[in-house]
Structure 1
Amino acid sequence: MAKHATFSVIFVPRAKKNTEQKREKLYARITVDGLRVEMSLARDLSTGLFNTKAQRCLGTNSESRQINDFLSIVNSDLNEIRKKLMLEGKEITAELIKARYKGLPDPDDIPDPTVLELYDEHNRKFKELIGTKNHSPSTYQRHLTSRGHVAAFIQHQYGKNDLTWEKVDFSFLSDFEHYFKAVRKCNHNSTMKYIKNFGKVIRTALGEGYLIRNPFEKFKLSYETVDREILTQKEVDQMIALDIKLNRLDKVRDLFVFCIHTGVSFCDVIKLRMNHIYEDQDGTKWIKNKRLKTGVEFMVPVLPEVQKIIDKYADHPERQMEGSVIPEISNQNYNGYLKEVAMRCEIDKNLSSHIARHTFATTIAMNNGAPLEVVSKMLGHRDTKTTQIYAKIQEKAIKSGMRNLL
């Protein structure tokens, strides 16, 4: 032992929760050099029987005698463990004494988890919380993808299947950034998002003591301003008017037009059911649900173009069997077919579900006088700060249109 450690043990009773019985549970509080831990002694007693100041049960009844004898044994065992640790030359800590008493391995003998082991543990716990606040299936999938990127980078950079946390430093993050841009050919913002995802596990490693220094102290996340594309009203009208003979393209066009006039994201539209549509006292129909991504509620009126699409699929088998508003399609097929729809409409823009959402916020909502706060509610944003990006898009579109006019 490097130094003589101060040591004390006191016993503390605590009221049992969720019970009508007037009973208390006993805990031992072990303190070494001012650092303490508590452990349950798996013993309960009548409320008020134990005197904390005297550190014993007062009275001579059977329960008091049994508890006092038990505590004497516990105190003796803890002191004996301390003596053995001194003979072993171990650095005595409260955690170590508790572990020995409980029959657990010494904390120093338990290896720290590796980078991927801790990420797997994070993902396992996250999966158990899906459906609660900030724990959506899409975010879970994003962490699975991020974990895969970390594993691939470790193999690429170090030629290993895993790493200890001491290897995760500023150089690790710098090389990780270079890997995304040079090897995976990701753009800057996507690279930053992937590194940010890994940051949550890094914070866990810091909190658990597996990492000594935070690599983000020197490595700073930064994002480049991106011009978000939107469709003009003319382009929206072109898409609606397009005569499409192929059923697969017709369905994709309908889904895209639905998103343009509701602002609902692709994954949320696919999960929409007819019971998410209701009519208020004024006869106005509304779509009301919660976003899969964030769990935040959104509410948007059913505009005429949306109603046409709802009516169009009234007899579709998926509507009859599952109440689906629009027949389901995979995200991969959807994005692929959208490019073909854009070509047929002679729209020279890379259409995506994000463009539909941006178009709703600006071309459909703000250009028709909808206030920022209302647009924020319809999009299911937590606050208007997120929605303000669309005000900037609208301003840019206005300036561009005025330049053309001039």
Structure 2
Amino acid sequence: KRTDMAYKELTKEIIADFDKYLRVEKGLSANTLWIYTMPLLSLTDKAWRRGIVRTDPFGEYNLEMQETDRGYLTEEELRTLANAVFVKKQTSLVRDMFLFGCFTGLSYIDIKTLTHDKIQRMDFDGEEWIITRRTKTRVSSNVPLMEIAKELIERYRGLAGGDLVFPMPSNNVCNSHLKQIAKACGIHKEIGFHIARHTFATTVYLCNGGTIEALSKILGHKHISTTQIYAEVTNRMVSSDFRAISGNLAAMQRSVLEKKDRKQDGKRVRRSLQETA
């Protein structure tokens, strides 16, 4: 066992062995493996860019987080959370940051690092957009701003340091407040900023007519296949709603079918009478 290693010792073979060790011997999932590997990849990338190492040992290494169905807020839950009133200012701030995620699809880190220069008014539609790159993947993410997102930006203008848009608390502080918020709103889910991102994709965007192709661009996904999970979630929502609606309309459906049967019986009787006449 070693506690350190020189950059020049970090080869493609060492990285492959490290990957195999975590996957096979430790039985880690791809997402957990990503968490362990990304800090090392980030440091090595910086060393390569600064000329400390001649080649990037991670150049051919491919590892992506696997999107999982982590849940989302329903429209009713989202409305309840948005209308809730909190005494503590920091609780209100965290709720507002969560709402911003629900209406932009940005992750916690992308909201925390958002600066005013990334908010631009576009010539082609005259609307304000967030033009940025995702911190996690460096893939471009272009988000048209809805009215509630614009209002939240104005609400906290000038309250953060430098050019930052929001005075965002730490992730741990946010998670602590989100637990209190969920409890106060009667939301029986463990909510975090990943839930806000999923809520944007499903409840806010796809369920209101947005397309998978556009959603993929907004979320900054490398591959549209990553976005497909939201379509599957939305299909389940539609199926569940349809079953509920169908159940509510059961009596009306029976009435219509019975009326149709009576009409068919009437036609058969008239036809029979005509044949015997």
SS in structure 2 at match of 1:347? coil
Aligned residue-pair number: 220
Instruction: Tell me the CA shift for residue 256 of structure 1.
Output: 0.1
The 1:115/1:271 distance shift into structure 2, 3 A limit, reads: same
Matches within 5 A, 1:192-271: 226-271=68-113
Matches within 5 A, 1:270-309: 270-281=112-123, 282-309=125-152
Deviation string, structure 1 residues 189-246 (Cα, Å, up to 9, x no partner): 6556568879x9xxxxxxxxxxxxxxxxxxxxxx999542011111111111001121
Matches within 5 A, 1:21-170: 117=4, 121=7
Q: For residues 230 and 182 of structure 2, what CA distance do their matches in structure 1 show?
A: 23
1:358 and 2:198 equivalent?
A: yes
Q: TM-score, normalised by structure 1?
A: 0.48
The 1:124/1:288 distance shift into structure 2, 3 A limit, reads: farther
Higher Rg of the two aligned structures = 1
Instruction: Tell me the CA shift for residue 404 of structure 1.
Output: 2.9
SS in structure 1 at match of 2:76? helix
Bigger share in strand: 1
Q: Which residue of 2 aligns with 1:329?
A: 169
Instruction: Tell me the CA shift for residue 339 of structure 1.
Output: 0.7
SS in structure 2 at match of 1:286? strand
SS in structure 1 at match of 2:152? helix
Deviation string, structure 1 residues 155-207 (Cα, Å, up to 9, x no partner): xxxxxxxxx99x98989965423xx7xxxxxxx66556568879x9xxxxxxx
Structure with greater contact order relative to length (CA < 8 Å, sep ≥ 6): 2
SS in structure 2 at match of 1:272? coil
Task: In structure 2, give the amino acid aligned to 1:121.
Answer: Y
Q: Which residue of 1 aligns with 2:189?
A: 349
The 1:363/1:123 distance shift into structure 2, 3 A limit, reads: farther
Deviation string, structure 1 residues 43-94 (Cα, Å, up to 9, x no partner): xxxxxxxxxxxxxxxxxxxxxxxxxxxxxxxxxxxxxxxxxxxxxxxxxxxx
Question: Contact 1:284 / 1:301 at 8 angstroms: preserved in 2?
Answer: yes
Instruction: Tell me the CA shift for residue 308 of structure 1.
Output: 1.3
Question: Contact 2:122 / 2:128 at 8 angstroms: preserved in 1?
Answer: yes
1:373 and 2:223 equivalent?
A: no
Structure 1 residue ranges, 4+ long, deviating more than 4 angstroms after superposition: 114-118, 122-125, 167-175, 188-198, 223-226
Unaligned runs of 5+ in 1: 1-113, 126-163, 181-187, 201-222
Instruction: Tell me the CA shift for residue 402 of structure 1.
Output: 2.2
The 1:122/1:358 distance shift into structure 2, 3 A limit, reads: farther
Deviation string, structure 1 residues 308-367 (Cα, Å, up to 9, x no partner): 111111242x2xx41221112101111111111111111111101111111111111111
Partner of residue 389 from structure 1, selected from 209, 213, 229 = 229
Task: In structure 2, give the amino acid aligned to 1:240.
Answer: A
Q: Which residue of 1 aligns with 2:154?
A: 311
Instruction: Tell me the CA shift for residue 400 of structure 1.
Output: 2.0
1:176 and 2:26 equivalent?
A: yes
Task: In structure 1, give the amino acid aligned to 2:113.
Answer: K
The 1:380/1:225 distance shift into structure 2, 3 A limit, reads: closer
SS in structure 2 at match of 1:401? helix
Question: Contact 1:228 / 1:393 at 8 angstroms: preserved in 2?
Answer: no
Question: Contact 2:97 / 2:168 at 8 angstroms: preserved in 1?
Answer: no
Q: Which residue of 1 aligns with 2:271?
A: none
Q: For residues 123 and 295 of structure 1, what CA distance do their matches in structure 2 show?
A: 27
Percent of paired sites with the same residue: 31
The 1:172/1:339 distance shift into structure 2, 3 A limit, reads: closer
